[in-house]
């Protein structure tokens, strides 16, 4: 999808923060954008912002709970009725759910994974057949996090979900290439967003027995650090990643050394003993993936 002008994007969590920044970058590049979001106040504010910039004809807002599969299907129908074929699916809806593993309840796990994994599954099952059917190719971006690359304590639910996005995208990418659909996993560092307001979107059925209620109240009072990345800059990086068909879309070079240490520790943990060649030959298909070879070659050629 190097040529994005005239193409249609569907963004979950699309009316604030990273989603809204991506919507702005996509519209500026000539795309039409459907912003799906669980909060109507964010949708209204986002639509007004585009209207103020005389870009309102390029955007459409839909209120959507990504865990509701029937609503997702209706949202897809509405998106196609409004702008036509959808080419870019950006699964971005999420929350900032934090706290120790020992305090997490079923309500916390079910809500967190229901949105951050289940919501992505719903997006894929809803939109992939439609993108394949129109035959014009497309792209899928799933939002992960630097927490998937450098996990930190007290984020067990969040990190579990975000790590799943990395594996999901790495597995899907070679499969969907045959249908001319690119796949990227987006792993941002801190971005100026409303993630601290996540408690406002927790459904009542997941509130009664939560172990994180007080932590969500405290998080809701947190101020946004002006040193964190601007959402529109973030959106521009996502757009560049889509155009370049990048497997990984990263934002903050400050995390490079920590990522290197993570993967060095992983590789150093393999048994220091000779390879059983007969066994290796019998499982050769498991021992590597040409996708990584190709991605490295592309990046090295780009960087000179």
Active site residues: 158
Q: Give the Cα separation of 131 and 190 in Å (integer).
A: 31
Residue among 166, 158, 96, 147 at smallest CA distance from 258: 147
Contact 210, 202 (CB under 8 A): yes
Lookup result for tokens 């002006």: 226
Phi first, then psi, for residue 164 (nearest 5°) are -60, -35
**The three-state (H, E, C) secondary structure of 204-247, written as one string:** HHHCCCCCCHHHHHHHHCCCCCCCCECHHHHHHHHHHHHHCCCC
Phi first, then psi, for residue 68 (nearest 5°) are -95, 105
Q: Give the Cα separation of 249 and 143 in Å (integer).
A: 9
Contact 127, 229 (CB under 8 A): no
Lookup result for tokens 């970058």: 25
């Amino acid at each position: 999808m190097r040529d994005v002008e005239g193409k249609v994007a569907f963004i979950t969590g699309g009316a604030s923060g990273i989603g809204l920044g991506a919507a702005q970058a996509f519209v500026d590049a000539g795309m039409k954008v459907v912003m799906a979001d669980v909060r109507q106040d964010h949708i209204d504010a986002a639509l007004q912002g585009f209207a103020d910039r005389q870009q309102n004809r390029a955007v459409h807002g839909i209120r959507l709970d990504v865990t509701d599969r029937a609503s997702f299907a209706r949202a897809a129908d509405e998106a196609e009725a409004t702008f036509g074929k959808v080419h870019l699916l950006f699964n971005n809806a999420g929350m900032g759910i934090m706290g120790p593993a020992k305090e997490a309840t079923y309500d916390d796990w079910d809500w967190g994974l229901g949105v951050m994994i289940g919501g992505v599954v719903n997006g894929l099952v809803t939109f992939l057949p439609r993108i394949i059917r129109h035959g014009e190719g497309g792209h899928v971006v799933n939002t992960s996090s630097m927490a998937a690359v450098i996990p930190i304590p007290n984020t067990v639910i969040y990190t579990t979900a975000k790590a799943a996005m990395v594996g999901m995208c790495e597995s899907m990418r070679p499969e969907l290439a045959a249908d001319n659909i690119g796949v990227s996993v987006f792993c941002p560092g801190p971005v100026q967003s409303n993630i601290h307001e996540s408690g406002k979107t927790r459904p009542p059925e997941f509130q009664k027995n939560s172990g994180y209620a007080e932590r969500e109240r405290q998080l809701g009072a947190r101020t946004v650090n002006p040193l964190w990345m601007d959402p529109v800059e973030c959106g521009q990086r996502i757009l560049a990643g889509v155009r370049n068909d990048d497997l990984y879309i990263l934002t903050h070079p400050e995390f490079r050394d920590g990522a290197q240490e993570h993967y060095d520790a992983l590789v150093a943990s393999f048994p220091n003993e000779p390879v059983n060649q007969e066994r290796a030959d019998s499982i050769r298909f498991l021992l590597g993936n040409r996708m990584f070879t190709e991605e490295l070659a592309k990046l090295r050629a780009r960087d000179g």
